[in-house]
Chain A
């Protein structure tokens, strides 16, 4: 690290204003940030902290005139970027400042091949001829370790995997050897194992190139993995900055402390005494194949087996985690056991009654006992209904007097720690965490025996995530609920689940007590998964604040 050389990026007292009517006047206020050559600086903050707008300001890509830079300096290699014309900025973008986006599928043009898109960058910014450009593009694809670069060159974005798409994005960013790379949550949409590979790749390439990297993330695990320096943003203000070790292990500001305390640690809960509670939910030999589709012109696609021969048991008061990466079939499991999706084979016994063989009338009665909490709290609440009606809907359908159901709904709001004043609001007036609480209240309204939670916290910020997890654990213990908890996040699983099953490509590869699986994984896939958790070597310091 060459701290003596001039910084690549120097932000001084950066101020970005928000349009009138926003929750605060400025998206960023008085931000100071310096990135030296060969340094990775992580900008950490929860959603709405202004971290992505900071990237937009540097690139000159803010949605002006509503959101614009109103004060401070943006110095890139000693030049002031504010006040540059659009034409001057266009030359800088791509050539000297490159950006890697969160969602590689939407950042790549689906109509053009990967090769064409890399070629375009080179065509616009360099005098190379066609042959040189193609050689360079393939060389770049090689550098980001894409298997068979030539075939990837001719592939369309949808034909390669998510991790490979992100590699292509990185190749495009590197095409012109930029001085500064801005990575906006580049691994958030990826699976853990892929995430680790991409993080390693960014680190490796950045070392070769000596570029500065501004890495925007919300995940402290990723920070621990990759950062040299960390800056923490809270509602537009820089609350703390320093080296990774200082910030992660000795945070000084209360906000950072609370954030770090909210990161689930990887230590599983103490093993409960072998339970002899009755089995409430039992799946046997479940199998689901998504049939081949396609017609005359679209070409046939292969049938996909999402779940094969899955069996499990869930006892009363117990939490069973279903862990796996995308495509492992874990969400399909949650839909099969609630019979939102018809299964091809097997049985799901709920309290001894087969849910999958039930007639429509029996099924409606059985649904009372098994409820689901969905992943996306915005999509799972009908936007046109008031909260009280959302919660009371289940009991009303099952024959409770509407007036009484609405009274109960208000009591449930208190149970999930929301004010009864929330009852007459519409879902969009709440934050993500609050909506998830409403979703939980709705699931509890029918007093079910089993709650299936399908990634209930993955759309939430880490501090909110901790609160919702705590609420779930609390309710489980108080109401003696059984939880089937589907997640991709091993940290979350470690915290909440008594037992877990690990799924890969529709099959269980390992199952057992959480503590045992985490300390002594047997299957290579589980081992790989566990060793890919970002920041696994970093244990969050146990700072107990009253906030978390």
Chain B
């Protein structure tokens, strides 16, 4: 009998295979993935199914759905095609969701990483700034920023990013504080690795899983925030966005509820898909949390 410790176990399947295996264990997450795929398909097919400007007049105003096959989901009070608006709105919502999330995560990671890694006065200063942002209600700050910067779609996206970075910053900071004391960080320091490389190459990859999961939450929240802005008629009027459609549909809510309901369903399903997706990512990336 030998006890040689040097024989290596057979190789594991590649990482993405393991990831997919764990992900698909969660049925709800699979549903989320399907919904997400549908939203993406909607965004991609916007120009193909219904070419032309979604804001143009496409038929008689207030045609109910399933009456005229030129406008399958009906038209609003200005005769704009609801289907076309929903499809183009998917583009805007996804775009805002992705960009605003990237902005929020980027700011959050940098601030959280610096605060968590260096600690001391750096931490104090950065965290007081974060708290200053946290004490102002998100939406009020967003309104103020949009009022200052104007309601162009780029500014709205940036503003949503700016009001959402505090939670990821706190999260990254907590991860960094627990990871910086680990021996592998000491090992890297002992090899003479610079601080920047330790932060971004050693610690950050280990801190990413919870942030990726949280990104899906921010993405859902950004879409909601944009819709809320548009509902208050502060959105960019040059783009068909779901929030705009609901905001305008509100005027005819009693006579033609579909004007508000159809984009509303689109928002609900999109946000649902992101949170289910996030849950699946959580199972796949942090397998040890469950059981």
Residues of A within 8 A of B (CB): 254-255, 258, 335, 338, 340, 363-365, 367-368, 371-372, 374-376, 379-384, 393-394, 397-398, 417-419, 421-422, 425, 429-431, 433-434, 437, 439, 442, 446, 463-464, 467-468, 546-548
Shortest distance in angstroms between B8's beta carbon and chain A's nearest beta carbon? 6
Q: Can you spell out 7 A-B residue pairs with CB atoms less than 8 angstroms apart?
A: A371-B190, A372-B186, A379-B182, A380-B182, A393-B193, A430-B9, A547-B3
B interface residues, how many (CB within 8 angstroms): 26
Min CB gap A316→B, angstroms: 21
The answer to whether the Cβ of B200 comes within 8 Å of any Cβ in the partner chain is: no
Residues of A within 8 A of B5 (CB): 431, 433-434, 437, 463-464, 467-468
Chain B, range 2-16, C-beta contacts under 8 Å to A = 2-6, 8-9, 11-12
Question: Given A394-B192, A429-B11, does the pair A380, B2 have CB atoms closer than 8 Å?
Answer: no
Q: How far is the CA of A374 from the CA of B186 in the complex (A)?
A: 9
- A339 → B minimal CB distance (Å): 9
Contact A375 B183 (CB under 8 A): yes
Complex: chain A residue closest to B191, CB-CB: A394
**Known A340-B189, A547-B1; contact A379-B8, beta-carbon cutoff 8 A:** no
- Cβ B192 vs Cβ A368 within 8 A: yes
| A382:B6 contact, CB within 8 angstroms | no
B206 touches A340 (CB 8 A): no
**Which listed residue (A338, A419, A468, A548) contacts B3, Cβ 8 A?**
A548
Q: Is B205 an interface residue (CB 8 A)?
A: yes
Asked whether, in the complex, the Cβ of A425 is within 8 Å of the Cβ of B183, the reply is: no
**B192 and A380 contacting across the interface, CB-CB below 8 Å:** no
Could you tell me if A380 and B186 are in contact, using CB atoms closer than 8 angstroms? yes
User: Besides A384-B205, A468-B5, 13 other CB < 8 A contacts?
Assistant: A254-B1, A340-B186, A374-B186, A381-B184, A381-B187, A382-B184, A382-B188, A393-B188, A394-B191, A446-B191, A463-B3, A467-B4, A547-B2
Interface flag for B123 (CB, 8 Å): no
Residues on the A chain within 8 Å of B187, using CB: 372, 374, 380-382, 439, 442
With a cutoff of 8 Å between Cβ atoms, the chain A residues found around residue B8 in the complex are 418-419, 421-422, 425, 429-430, 434
User: Which residues of chain A are within 8 angstroms of B183 by Cβ–Cβ distance?
Assistant: 374-376, 379-380
User: At the interface, yes or no: B236 with Cβ under 8 Å from chain A?
Assistant: no
Q: Please report the C-alpha to C-alpha distance between residue A384 and residue B192 in the assembled complex, in whole angstroms.
A: 19
Shortest distance from the beta carbon of A341 to any chain B beta carbon, whole Å? 9
| Chain A residues within 8 Å of B188, by CB | 382, 393
**Nearest B residue to A445 by beta-carbon distance?**
B191
For the complex, give the distance between the alpha carbons of A372 and B183 in Å.
11
Given A258-B1, A382-B184, A397-B12 contact (CB < 8 Å) = no
What are the residues of chain B within 8 A of A417 when measuring CB–CB? Answer: 6
Query: By the criterion CB–CB under 8 Å, are B12 and A379 in contact?
Result: no
